[in-house]
Copies of this chain bind each other. A is one copy, B any other.
Amino acid sequence: MDHTPLAATINLIGGKYKSLILWKLTNGLLRFSELRREIPCATPKMLTQQLRELETDGLINRKVYPVVPPKVEYSLTTLGKSLKPVLDTMYIWGTDYLSNKGIENKNTL
């Protein structure tokens, strides 16, 4: 079984904050400052970098409003939206994983 498709997917969403950004944007568009608040652990530099890569890969749109103060909105492209099943599956697995870890801890008490 060729693993190229798997590698391709990981290359697109495997970045440090990429899946988180995509996840936040599934609820609709967000401004830069809103993303910062949603993902506080990412510095502005990192956030910008990851956003640019997602944009280059065609997963998100970046819309700049030429106003003062500046306003930039990020949203999912059609391709980005198509990732929802992937993110959902990961989210569900992660939820199960974390809750089972909790049970294990309980058993050791």
Q: Is there contact, CB below 8 Å, between B86 and A93?
A: yes
Q: Is there contact, CB below 8 Å, between A90 and B4?
A: no
List of B residues within 8 angstroms of A7 by Cβ: 19-20, 94
> Number of contact residues on A: which range applies?
20 to 34
The count of identical subunits is 2
Q: Is there contact, CB below 8 Å, between B85 and A10?
A: no
Q: Is there contact, CB below 8 Å, between A5 and B97?
A: yes
Q: Is A3 an interface residue (CB 8 A)?
A: yes
Q: Is there contact, CB below 8 Å, between A19 and B10?
A: yes
**Nearest-Cβ distance from residue A40 to partner chain B, whole angstroms:** 11
Taken together as a complex, chains A and B put the C-alpha atoms of A96 and B8 apart, in Å, by 11
Taken together as a complex, chains A and B put the C-alpha atoms of A40 and B3 apart, in Å, by 12
